[in-house]
Amino acid sequence: MSQEPAPIAREVAFVPDRRSLHESAVENAYANNSDVYDYLAEHASLEEIVAFLRFDACQPAFNIYLRRWLPKIPEYLCRPLEEHIEEEESEHHSDLFRVLLANLEAQVSISPALNDSALCTLNYTFSQDCASEQNHAFFAGAFFATELMSAKRCMQLWRGLRRLGLDSVGLPAASPEQAPVAGTYLGIHALGDAEHGALVLRDFIEPILRREPALEGAVWSGLHDRLARSAQFLRWYAASYLPAVRRHFEQAS
């Protein structure tokens, strides 16, 4: 289980270039560029896409994850966090995802078995243990990595559903005219999460580094912890569930 890093001794003034450093760390990481995502976009069957989405569905609802941190963060971060929570809850992201998955699941027959230990390792970021053991700077780094990786994951899954002619399946629409918009949920979500990543930099990481520069190490620790857990999960998933990706890894090694 990840431990909170000791604060770095030196004070580092925030500089604008640090934004690109955080973005590059996520964008260039294996966890954001896994062959699993390419396979889901370009080759996976509907059964394989649904199986992957079912692991996604085992993540705690994002608003619950964010609410766990409200009692712990400093006052200057409370309002930005409340705004993120309000957006998550007002747009019913979790409900829409559940409807999408349920309607896709109805079209396939897959095993219900999931690996609890793999999920436990992956889900540390979202757990009460993490909120108890880590600080708000660790949270900000992990929050940022989660949002930016979600953008890439949703886009590749959307590409896979479009390839199969199923990108308009699974979401309720108030009228037929709204159906095409509703059907592009994953694509819209991908763009939204990329914007959320930028907001986390602006509303959390930048203020922390200005006010508490000694916590820079904890921000990076949270970011890298989330990337490492995601990478571990994706390698396990490829080896366990996607033979085509497993063969690719074996040929590359």
pLDDT digits (tens, 9 = 90+) for 126-152: 889 999 999 999 999 999 999 999 888
245 located within any domain: yes
pLDDT greater at residue 99 or residue 91: 99
9 located within any domain: no
Alpha helices, DSSP H only, in the chain?
Answer: 17-27, 35-42, 46-56, 62-67, 75-90, 93-105, 116-122, 128-133, 136-163, 179-183, 185-200, 206-211, 216-241, 243-252
Does residue 166 register a pLDDT over 50?
A: yes
pLDDT greater at residue 219 or residue 124: 219
71 located within any domain: yes
In this predicted structure, what is the pLDDT of residue 94?
67
Give mean pLDDT, residues 46-66.
Answer: 85
Does residue 9 register a pLDDT over 50?
A: no
CATH number of the domain where residue 115 is located: 1.20.910.10
Neighbour count for residue 45 (Cβ, 10 Å): 12
60 located within any domain: yes
7 located within any domain: no
Domain ranges, residue 55: 17-252
Number of alpha carbons in the 13 Å side-chain half-sphere of residue 207: 16
Pairwise CA distance, residues 92 & 78, whole Å: 21
205 located within any domain: yes
Q: How many domains does the chain have?
A: 1
Pairwise CA distance, residues 225 & 231, whole Å: 10
In this predicted structure, what is the pLDDT of residue 71?
94
Give mean pLDDT, residues 37-57.
Answer: 88
10 located within any domain: no
In this predicted structure, what is the pLDDT of residue 93?
67
Pairwise CA distance, residues 18 & 4, whole Å: 22
8 located within any domain: no
Mean residue pLDDT across the chain: 79
Give mean pLDDT, residues 210-239.
Answer: 94
Token representation of residue 134: 């880590």
Does residue 11 register a pLDDT over 50?
A: no
Token representation of residue 126: 């979202």
Give mean pLDDT, residues 214-224.
Answer: 96
In this predicted structure, what is the pLDDT of residue 192?
78
Pairwise CA distance, residues 25 & 230, whole Å: 14
